[in-house]
Copies of this chain bind each other. A is one copy, B any other.
Amino acid sequence: MRTIALLTDFGAKDNYVGVMKGVILNINHKVNLVDITHEISPQNVWEAGFLLYESFKFFPKNTIFLVVVDPGVGSKRRALAIKTKNYYFVGPDNGVLSLAVKEDGLRKAVSLENKKYFLREVSSTFWGRDVFSPVSAYLSKGISIDKLGRVCNKIKELKIPSPQIKGSILSGRVIYIDRFGNLITNINLKDFKNFTKNKEFIFKIKSKNITKFYPYYQKAKNDELFLCEGSFGYLEVSLKNKSASSFLKAKIKDKVKLLLKKYARS
């Protein structure tokens, strides 16, 4: 059985996600439906694109990722189906698919135009139900992506900002905050290790200095602020038993700095 994995900002209160699944099962009742999350902050394309990028490679080959975070619904923005080396992606052309698509390797992108694979009536406010769900269902039945519309040569792209090294300072940013309040930075673990080489360091965020890195949470003392190896390969800021995000009043895009202790002014 093929898998369709859903990622939206529709939340749990309304019937939006349930109705999308109804539409899918009406076309293909032998499919595994998996929720990645529906709690993306309303219309936050970045958050959705990042979580998709962090998730897709754990799914079975040929999984179809159905992503609906779509502030431009109804306007002239394109709707896409994309085949990559190992997967399929369906959603709006606003960059939300791009991090994952680039990572896996784009094979073909198609602009959704063939109404045969849409619901009969297409609203201007709920393409998740009327276009993206039926298209995903038909892909899960083995319909070729070529039948869905015309090939696109270029899709809109998001980029994870790269950390910058300037003199003795590595500068980065917070790029995601999880439910536990852990702050995920754009500094990956290899870069962190190459930069610090097991020497003493100072990590600066929101006027606080962090000097400890632990491979896992339990190593930290109670209420200690520390760096940690995040499960997706990036450096994280954590607070033992509490939310680092609330304590630091940190937000996505906040700047962080890393320097070796020997270079720090006293």
Q: Which residues of A contact B (CB under 8 A)?
A: 1, 3, 5, 7, 10-15, 17-19, 21-23, 25-26, 29-30, 32-39, 42-43, 51, 54-55, 58-61, 63, 71-75, 123-126, 129, 178-180, 215-219, 228-231, 241
Contacts and interface: CB of A to CB of B under 8 A. Distances in A.
Contacts of A7: 18
Contacts of A123: 229, 231
A21 B56 CA distance: 11
Nearest to A119: B58
A25 B216 contact: no
Q: How many copies make up the complex?
A: 3
Given A3-B29, A22-B59, A124-B229, 6 more contacts: A1-B29, A12-B12, A19-B58, A22-B55, A74-B217, A75-B216
A-B interface, 7 closest residue pairs, ranked by CB to CB distance from nearest:
A74-B216, A126-B231, A18-B36, A22-B59, A11-B179, A22-B58, A124-B216
Interface class of chain A by DSSP = loop
